[in-house]
Structure 1
Amino acid sequence: MAIVNELFGSNVFSDHIMKQRLPKETYKALQKTINEGANLDISVANVVANAMKDWAIEKGATHFTHWFQPMTGITAEKHDSFITPTNDGRILMEFSGGELVRGEPDASSFPSGGIRATFEARGYTVWDPTSAAFVKSKTLYIPTAFCSYTGEALDAKTPLLRSMEAISKQAVRILRLFGNASATSVRTTVGPEQEYFLIDKAMYEQRKDLVYTGRTLFGNKPPKGQELEDQYFASIKTRVAAFMNELNEELWKLGVLAKTEHNEVAPAQHELAPIFTTTNIAVDHNHLTMELMQRIAKKYDMICLIHEKPFEGINGSGKHNNWSIATNTGSNLLDPGKTPFENAQFLLFLAAVIKAVDEYQDLLRISVATAANDHRLGANEAPPAIVSVFLGDELSAIVDALVSGSAYDAKSKTMMQIGVDVLPQFPKDTTDRNRTSPFAFTGNKFEFRMVGSSMSIAEANTVLNTAVAEILREFADTLEKASDFKTALQQLVKDTLSAHKRIIFNGNGYDDAWVAEAEKRGLLNLKTTPDALPYLLKEKNVKLFETHGVYSHTEIHSRYDISLENYCKILNIEALTMAEMAKTSILPAVASYAKELAESAYAKKAILDKADITYESDCVAKLSALTTALWKSTTALESALQKAETLGDITEKSMSYKNGVIPAMDTVRAAADALELITAKKAWPFPTYGDMLFSVL
């Protein structure tokens, strides 16, 4: 492997490369566009495009693509070569500023939520110069936004960029009130931890449910699961380590700050965590991470599963979204410092985040609402579906003191006492970690733990940015009018924390008592996607997005329709797959096995009239009863599915899937999983959980 500092960013058209390859004036003009949002002149774009093309060709590229994020949850790309014909039958390798700045993919086949008719095909991709271009697989990738012919956003990136501008604008207003004139912009930063499973490729290919849906629709927990807690942080297996090493190399080449890797709690589960970077870049990098994980795993005869709940009864996978706010001068606005009680600016931003999470808890839940994530949230795993904020002991004590108006007893750092003299002493953190909290403060950032492992982090961060921007706007409006800033500030922080203290919870989010307590506090418990999504259309939420120009009224309604359509489509695919597997694999296999047992009993009796055939007869009786139950429940599932699909209204259809199709699927699974436990392993038609979770060495 090459030296890491030489490898890192080697396939990225980075700021370092631009300084080397662009004329000084061109570089300055481009930086003004990136840092200040200034318009990019076409003459500047032409120079940048030519330099970018020459660099990419040196890296082996023959094509370029505008790489964008339509509302499918994944990325999209259309590749064009650099070739341009000449009059004498030869070609030139060319790439213009116009091709760099704008592309025109067919928009008719991407979700639009009714924004446009399917025959209206024109859409535009627009270069995002704040996220660096890169070379992958002989293609120059240009990160872009994606919009319709009429200007509406058809992607996840455009609203994200709008939300980043919104929070920057409002945060700078606050900083000016504190006398900070040097910071001209604020950016949110994110470090998304990515959880995933690795299983053997040959076994995956025998499971149609994994192939079609990304999760198992049948299967029992193996005798050994995660109860011994011997997988977490354990020694990494040889094949997995080789995969991780190659993944790191490829990510580093693309400038992805892959930092931490380890085994997760469940068997065959792992995690990769990057260093923080600007939010839109973090979104791009996380998409690259998921893509490379899945591609590289196949080289080692493995499949990378990034579904939120690939195995029933086994911990699912999330994507912990570590979110913070920083100025362009490098100051972290969520860093409490050594004396947070005396840090008025920090306390104001902290109060803003707490109020934003409380007032827009519905939107935060919606931002992570999918059919896949519904299996994970509220299922006694981190985190529950109820949104709450964990602050830890020190900040909670500060909040209590501010609300009550009492003095805060600041305690000095306590040294950890481990009881072994040879071990070095170190200061104890002022707060523990709470893995059950959906939204936890962890030193100088908030960790939003509700995002699903397969999801783009764009929507969650769009909501976070916009909600906090709104509260900062309210704060700035109040403080700018105040005759006495310090008095007004103190009162504002106290009033805000008093009004929104209900969202703060430092206890066990898995405890049933918390569900009852949260209800008393008036917190929402939106367990499923159809329960959560109608809140998107509430007046306060529509007003929030329109006020800050993040989503228009049309764009909000389109996303409501797209999300519910996606929910229904996913469950439709899962139900069809389940019915097919039950009818064409499980039932024939069990019937054949029952016949084998019956023939065995008959043969024993033929030889020895008094032979004991209890095992065979009992087993055949159980198999017969369960196959009847499986057949009837499969028929009932198909009826429920047919009923749901006849409904035209998307809201009614989603509720039909939730209340009709999902319970029918549960009944089918119960019968099939019971059959697995009494069917000979050689007769069962596909690999079991035990086979898959313990196969990779």
Structure 2
Amino acid sequence: EQEYFLIDKSFYLERLDLLQTGRTLFGRKPAKHQQMEDHYFGAIKPRILSFMEDLDRELWKLGIPAKTRHNEVAPAQFEIAPVFEELNHAVDHNMLTMEVLRQVADRHGLVCLLHEKPFAGVNGSGKHNNWALCGPDGKNWLSPGDNPHENAKFLTVICALMKAIDTNAAILRSAVAYAGNDHRLGANEAPPAIISIFLGEQLTDIIEQIEKGGAKSSKEGGFLEVGVSSLPRLNRDVTDRNRTSPFAFTGNKFEFRAVGSSQSCAGPNIMLNTIVAEALDEICSKLEADVKAGKDFNESLQALLQSIVKKHKRILFNGDNYSEEWHKEAERRGLPNLKTTPEALKAQITDEAIKMFGKHKVLSKEEIMSRYEIFKEQYEKTLQFETGVALEIAKTMIVPAALNYQKELVSTLSSIKSAGIEIKNTEALLKKVCGLTEDTLTAVQKLEEAFGGHSTVKMLDGMKELRTAVDSLEEVVPKSMWPLPTYAEMLFML
């Protein structure tokens, strides 16, 4: 599922920040944006529908099975989703889709923005990575089956995922770590940097019964029998009701929602597949050893699943991942909360990670270290570009506009005062504009110092401080004098 924004090309060409960084470094949130969710539930505008129809035709020509298209929550935000495919095809087709999105948008006088957070204060964009596992029998092992044996495989895979993600949560988080996604993760439209699993009420109830030594019942109807002793029958239609989870069970697959909209899905799936392979390898090795020792297979599986649940149940969370309470609870459980890319990337170069990727012949130590250095450099250079662009816009566009407005106010005040009229509120406005201009110039100086020192933390803090001052100026400087297209124009004039 690929999310994206569309804006008119004329606005894009007037925004140096969008041209060079892919996101707006300044911009005041309009009074109306996505509060009513009327864009999500509203009709698709004719211009956008024409674009979408053209896009579908171009994708179908390339053999990409595009299917679903709709408005997303934020104004000017949309989504396209294909029919599910085998992983390698799906990844390649998504890469092609991103390029075709840009090309078709240009033909319609639009620009497609694939940055994770092109506009502050409204929803950002991601891509939901739907993941399932087909066994040698060609069946999806995340679908409760038609016989007890298949349902036992289903629960084994669920427990393997619990084990894999709890053991390697930091590695999975690192798979979606880069500058653009740092602005999105933890906002009101995206899961936090804390990795957890949502199973839903019924499946969680079954897992809890397994932990106690044997589940015998299920909360809902439409049951299936499971072939391991003391395991319950499963509901065929267990669907997702939690949109805040980073890794949610959605009936017959899991949805990894932390992947960024501009990202290739290859990297996250390499990480996910490897950690699941490691968990399944350990499970199979234990079962094979037990059978070889003459133990009953079903009893061994029951005991093994019970031990996995007991050890890794902390990774399960069905509540609101956006809440402050969850952050505190996750810390109590000992789950990692790697909020920034530099923190998260380090998980890829631990001895344990290097050993695991080498064991499965996925990545050598040299390849892992090379990827780490490249990702780290990419992050640092991205922030350097953004800092440079923010300084250029502030110094050559924002400050001159503010000074011109000050000059106009001074002239107006002088004329009115000469007529003997008292104008306290206008004087207060001039004082406010002067103060905000000084705040902007002070923030520029601080950001220049941070830029020279190459500290990414100081650059981020400096850009935030500068943005606060500039966005405050936008509230008072006349529209006719403001040098940048506004959020209201870009998000609503399509």
Q: With structure 1 as the length reference, what TM-score do the two structures score? A: 0.67
1:547 to partner: Cα distance: 0.4
Mapped partners of 2:139, 2:205: distance in 1 = 25
**CA distance in 2 between partners of 1:412 and 1:602 (Å):** 77
Q: Which of structures 1 and 2 has the bigger CA Rg? A: 1
Q: Does 1:463 align with 2:275?
A: no
1:262 partner SS: strand
For 1:359, the equivalent position in structure 2 comes to: 167
Find the counterpart in structure 2 of residue 325 from structure 1. 133
Contact 1:394 1:431 in 2 (8 A): no
1:404 deviation in Å?
0.4
Aligned to 2:227: none
Q: Provide the rounded CA distance (Å) in 2 between the counterparts of 1:667 and 1:430.
A: 46
Q: Distance in 2 between matches of 1:605 and 1:339?
A: 90
> Residue 480 of structure 2: which of 666, 671, 682 is its match?
682
Gapped runs of 5+ residues in structure 2?
223-234
Q: Distance in 2 between matches of 1:331 and 1:298?
A: 42
Q: Tell me which amino acid in the other structure corresponds to 2:5.
A: F
Quick check: 1:246 aligned with 2:54? yes
Following the alignment from structure 2 to structure 1, what is the Cα–Cα distance between the partners of residues 146 and 334?
Answer: 34
Could you tell me how far 1:432 is from its partner in structure 2?
Answer: 4.2
- Aligned residue identity for 2:444: T
1:247 and 1:233 map into 2 onto residues whose CA distance is 21
Deviation at 1:614, TM superposition (A): 2.9
From 203, 225, 230, the counterpart of 1:395: 203
1:220 counterpart letter in structure 2: R
Residue 223 of structure 1 aligns with which residue? 31
Q: Tell me the distance in 1 between the aligned counterparts of 2:218 and 2:146.
A: 10
Q: Which residue of 1 aligns with 2:110?
A: 302
What SS class does the counterpart of residue 134 from structure 2 fall into?
strand
Q: Which amino acid aligns with 1:511?
A: S
CA apart distance, 1:535: 1.7
CA distance in 2, matches of 1:634, 1:619: 22
User: Structure with the greater relative contact order (CA < 8 A, sep ≥ 6): 1 or 2?
Assistant: 2
Deviation per CA, 1:105-148: give whole Å up to 9, x if none: xxxxxxxxxxxxxxxxxxxxxxxxxxxxxxxxxxxxxxxxxxxx
Q: 1:509 & 1:216 partners in 2: Cα distance? A: 27
**What is the CA distance between 1:486 and its match in structure 2?**
1.8
Matching of residues 97-176 of structure 1 within 5 Å: none
Is structure 2 residue 456 aligned with structure 1 residue 657?
A: yes
Matched, 1:508 2:354: no
Pair 1:501–1:247, CA change in 2 (3 A): same
**In the alignment, what sits opposite 2:228?**
none
Give 1:330 deviation, angstroms. Answer: 3.0
Higher strand share: 1
**Residue 625 (structure 1) aligned to one of 431, 435, 438:** 435
**Alpha-carbon deviation of 1:406?**
4.2
Q: In the alignment, is residue 233 of structure 1 matched against residue 31 of structure 2?
A: no
SS in 2 for 1:303: strand
**Residue of structure 2 in register with 1:671 after alignment:** 469
How big is the shift at 1:474? 0.9
SS of the aligned residue for 2:166 comes to: helix
Which stretch of the first structure deviates more once superposed, 616-625 or 550-559? 616-625
**CA RMSD after TM alignment:** 1.6
Q: Deviations over 1:637-679 (max 9, x none)?
A: 01111111xxxxxxxxxxx202x11111111111101100000
Instruction: Write out per-residue CA displacement over residues 312-344 of structure 1, whole angstroms, 9 at most, x where no aligned residue.
Output: 111110110001111365310111237889821
- Secondary structure at 2:436 match in 1: helix
Q: Identify the range of structure 1 (360-369 vs 476-485) with the bigger mean alpha-carbon deviation.
A: 476-485
Tell me the alpha carbon deviations over residues 351-407 of structure 1, each in whole angstroms, 9 at most, x when there is no partner: 111111111101110000011100111223321110000000111011011110244
Counterpart of 2:386 in structure 1 is: 574
CA distance in structure 2 between the partners assigned to 1:428 and 1:263 by the alignment: 30
Matches within 5 A, 1:501-650: 501-606=313-418, 608-609=419-420, 611-644=421-454
Structure 1 position 618, deviation (Å): 1.6
Shift of 1:233: 3.3
C-alpha contact 1:265 1:315 (8 A) present in aligned 2: yes
Does the 8 Å contact 1:413/1:430 carry over to 2? no
* Whole-angstrom distance in 1 between the partners of 2:437 and 2:399: 7
Give 1:382's match in structure 2, choosing from 187, 190, 195.
190
Long gaps (5+) in structure 1: 1-192, 415-426, 645-655
> Within 1, Cα distance between the matches of 2:452 and 2:216?
62
Could you tell me how far apart the structure 2 residues matched to 1:338 and 1:488 are?
Answer: 23
Distance of aligned partners of 1:434 and 1:209 in 2 relative to their CA distance in 1, 3 Å threshold: same
Compute the displacement of 1:411 (Å). Answer: 4.8
What's the CA shift for 1:531? 1.4
| CA displacement at 1:615 relative to structure 2 | 3.8
How far did residue 605 of structure 1 move? Answer: 2.8
**Residue 440 of structure 1 pairs with residue 239 of structure 2:** no
Q: What number of residue pairs does the alignment pair up?
A: 478
Counting aligned pairs with the same residue, the percent is 51
In structure 2, the partner of 1:131 is none
More displaced 10-residue stretch of structure 1: 226-235 or 511-520:
226-235
Cα offset, 1:612, TM superposition: 3.4
Secondary structure in structure 2 of the residue aligned to 1:199: strand
Determine which structure has the larger helix proportion and give its number. Answer: 2
CA distance in 2, matches of 1:386, 1:602: 58
The secondary structure found in structure 2 opposite 1:196 is strand
Contact kept? 1:340, 1:346, Cα under 8 Å: no
